[in-house]
Chains A and B, each alone.
Chain A
C-alpha cells in the first residue's frame, strides 16, 4: 500500500488521558499536514511539516497538542490531558512541495472519542 496510513483507526479514551497518533506519509513526500475534522465540518488545519521542520502551527491549537516528525518521515500527534471537545477525526495528509501544483493525499484518519 503506497498511500498515507494512520494508526490507530479508532481511539476511545477517558478525559484527562494522553493519546498519541501516528501517520506514515507516502514515501518521498516532503510535506506532512495534520487536520482535525468534526461531523459536518471541513478539515481544520492544525500544523504542517516540511521534512522534519514544523513550519506552522494553528493559533487555535492549545499547548496540550504537540506534533513531531523526527526524521522527516512518519509523524506523531500527541494530545495531553484530553478533553471531550477533542473528540474528532484527526486526518493526516502528505504532499510533494511543488510551486505550481501541490495536492494533498489524505489518510483514512484516526477517530478520537473522549468519554
Chain B
C-alpha cells in the first residue's frame, strides 16, 4: 500500500536557525497537505499543494511539491520557539489522506 516517509525524524535547532523536513511518497500523489501538531494537541492544517513543482509561502514557512508529485518539503526560516511541534505531510492519491511519519521540531531559545 501507499507509504509516506519523512526525514528527519527529529530536529533540534537553536532559535533563529533554519529547519527543513522532507516528505517522500511511494506513489504519485494528486495533492499533498501539511499539518502541525503541537505537543499534546491534534493535527492542524497548514497548507495544500496540488500542482507539480508548486511552491507556496506562509510568512517564514515555504512549502514545495516535487515535479514528479511524489515528494515535498517544508522549510522554516529563522525558527522561533512557537514553531515547536511535529510536522506531518499527508498525501492523497485516492480519496483518503495518508499521513507521513512526521518530523518533531524542538527549538532552543
A and B assemble together: yes
- A45 and B96 form a contact (CB under 8 A): yes
Whole-angstrom CA separation of A56 from B96 in the bound complex? 8
Contact B96 A43 (CB under 8 A): no
Partner-contacting stretch, out of B12-20, B39-47, B54-62, B75-83: B39-47
User: Which A26-76 residues sit within 8 Å CB-CB of chain B?
Assistant: 33, 35, 40-45, 48, 55-56, 59
- CB of B96 within 8 A of CB of A48, answer yes
Given contacts A41-B102, A43-B99, A100-B50, 7 further A-B contacts (CB under 8 A): A42-B88, A44-B99, A55-B95, A93-B43, A104-B45, A106-B42, A109-B42
Task: Check if B100 is an interface residue, CB within 8 A of chain A.
Answer: yes
Chain A residues within an 8 Å CB radius of B6: 42
- The number of chain A residues touching the other chain, given as a range, is 20 to 34
A100–B92 Cα gap in the complex (Å)? Answer: 12
Q: Is B24 an interface residue (CB 8 A)?
A: no
Query: In the complex the two chains form, is A105's CB within 8 Å of B98's CB?
Result: no
A2 within 8 A of B: no
In the assembled complex, A91 has its CB within 8 A of some CB on chain B: yes
Chain A residues near B99 (CB-CB < 8 A): 35, 42-45
